[in-house]
Structure 1
């Protein structure tokens, strides 16, 4: 786990001091643990459903209530962080996140389990967007894209590393052990974050302190909502489509998800460096336009044998380059209300994921799986048009 963030620093080729490296490693590990909690739920659902004698659909409410609580409460924490500071909220969030995971581990009823995941969603809402914001505050403006790309890669690494590690732990010690482990690590991270962010400033004095109205920020984050629909309407049903329509084996499906995960991390990391060189606005617009094309290609060539691995890698590479560069763009455009902007952006992300999963289910039922990438391409087109029309 330690090798990954160090490798990230080498990939983006930046010169940093020990203090700056500690900032980045802290952000990376914090988002890696948060991401692991988010992504590990899916493979654990069958075991949870079996123990509580419920259907997988009912067990799926664990994800739904978490996402809803996150989406509702993230803007509040963003607003508070812009006025009271981010450090205390992040530390308290990690401490309560640890408690929430401990409650998940000891839940004796499904009602208690649901309650613990609501508490977890509330806790994460005060961590993820504020880590992005505090990294945006701490980084020099000319390095902000790279710094944000590194911490975003921590969240994405959980997709292909953290979740499989949790699944492996379940096989030996049961699913409850996963949440006990997360609770212990979260407690340690709360101490680390308390120490690390003690000397950070709210924002760099050389930045123009431009206040963004709530309406202006909401308009800006609508780009992310359509981006999330384009990405997740397809991703949620990717396994179903590849197995049922492409007849992929378990090993082929695992290779597909791995190719996607590697592409996501690579896209996030490399977009950061390009963003700092040519500007967040240009990169975010260009990558979202490219996303329109790659989703259309997926619609036509998703059954093209081994080529599908390359297409999935390219899709994630371009898609997450778009997301990371847009996060940097928001951090740049709303320096005084950075916490609120990035919190609302994460709310828009979860709204898009929810709408995308609902839309994807309807589309594959009505018109079949191979229609889905083409409709997702249309959602990406809307995202790119809004992004291009926006001005600071």
Structure 2
């Protein structure tokens, strides 16, 4: 029997969309946890009787653990298999997230957040690698966009839901609820995966030549991923402050504007996921990059002129054009299966290290020269990403085999 379009090529009993939605739920919970601590910093500082600056390190601890753990997790999944690595990461995350909700001191809270970040970093790249293993190459951008939409939806719905829950159970109860949510979604995912009759075996190949070829093939999209998130860090770090200064009346209106930012990012994921499926992931990336650099130029001009409406519109369209990340992940998955986990993990690290670098530059530039220059530097980052993707087109004929 010939499988219908959209059916899982490995097992007809688990459609691709069902698997993607299950993984998207896991990504939603992970994204909610990544973003939920920032709104709780004041409450956490009161609980531990420390300064707000001290609790700010909790965000850094999680982000650093998330960024640094990804390459090791990807490498392990290439050696021990996707499912064991994914399952171990989710179990460990539940344990350390629970510890975050029960920590008696700021030191133990910081350690728990760092360990939760490490285990979260073990889940995300392996989930995308699993998609690369079981989904045919032409459909990968669309399916990876579903996972990315789950992550993006956490900023639109997950964080507000967490804040609403915290009014009843506090910040500790909210973190414990996140641990419980991942446990439930993880159980559902495992039950779903057990219905798959076969998952591709990963051959044990680890020659230095293959590793070198992997880096030669993937450095352009790694650079594009780094630059995309550097631009995001440059823009988003002080976008709320800029909007308030340009006339957003209060924080309630600001939350509505930022919710629109997240909503447009969701829409962009759907658009560029479909575009990647129909026209190819590389084409979708290049189209999005040119839209993105145009919106950054418009955002810089609007900030300089003081036009609030144009600034909001440009920021929303920037968020939509930023949603080519699933297409970059699809390109990162186009490597031999025994390097796919490593490739996607390096892509993950490139993204979040870019975010940290972009945020650091924004901190140095914004207070001295203002948001117009900060947004313009975001445009420079995207221009470098465009150049790297142009270089990829020249390298494409020499791509390694075995995809």
Does structure 1 residue 177 correspond to structure 2 residue 176? no
Q: 5+ unaligned residues in a row in structure 2: which ranges?
A: 204-208, 397-403
Q: Which residue of 2 aligns with 1:50?
A: 46
Q: Is the 8 A contact 2:73 2:121 kept in 1?
A: yes
- Contact kept, 8 Å, 1:218 with 1:344, in 2: the verdict is no
1:305 aligns with 2:303: no
**2:333 aligns to what SS in structure 1?**
helix
Choose which of 139, 143, 162 in structure 1 pairs with 2:139.
143
- Structure 1: any 5+ residue segments left out of the alignment? 1-13
Which of 325, 331, 334 is residue 333 of structure 2 equivalent to?
Answer: 331
Length, aligned pairs only: 374
Residue 22 of structure 2 is aligned to residue 26 of structure 1: yes
Per the alignment, residue 162 of structure 2 pairs with 166
Change (3 A) 1:252 1:334: farther
Q: After superposition, what is the alpha-carbon deviation per residue over 1:240-263, rounded to whole angstroms, capped at 9, x for unaligned? A: 111134454223211210111011
Deviation at 1:306, TM superposition (A): 2.7
Match of residue 319, structure 1, among 322, 325, 328? 322
Residue 332 of structure 1: how far off its partner (Å): 2.1
Equivalent residue, structure 1, for 2:370: 368
Tell me the SS of whatever aligns to 2:199.
Answer: coil
Give the distance between the partners of 1:246 and 1:387, measured in 2 at CA: 38
Indicate the residue corresponding to 2:215 in structure 1: 215
Match of 1:259 in 2: 260
Name the counterpart of 2:401: none
Inter-partner Cα distance in structure 2 for 1:372 and 1:76: 33
Partners of 2:246 and 2:308 within 8 A in 1:
no
Distance 1:219 1:326, change over 3 A: closer
1: distance between equivalents of 2:220 and 2:311?
35
Kept in 2, the 8 Å contact 1:48–1:175? The answer is: yes
- Structure-1 residue corresponding to 2:390: 388
The corresponding residue for 1:346 is 348
Question: What's the CA shift string for 1:175-219, capped at 9, x where partnerless?
Answer: 1011111111222233223222343523899xxxx9553533455
Assess if the C-alpha contact under 8 Å between 1:264 and 1:316 holds in 2: yes
Does structure 2 conserve the Cα–Cα contact (< 8 Å) formed by 1:211 and 1:334?
no
Q: Specify whether residues 241 and 309 from structure 1 end up closer, same or farther in structure 2 by C-alpha distance, changes over 3 A only.
A: closer
Q: Give the TM-score normalised by the residue count of structure 1.
A: 0.90
Q: 1:287, 1:204 → 2: CA distance?
A: 33
Deviates more, 1:370-379 or 1:111-120: 370-379
| TM-score normalised over the length of structure 2 | 0.88
CA displacement at 1:149 relative to structure 2? 0.5
Relative to 1, partners in 2 of residues 1:120 and 1:350: Cα closer, same or farther, differing over 3 Å? same
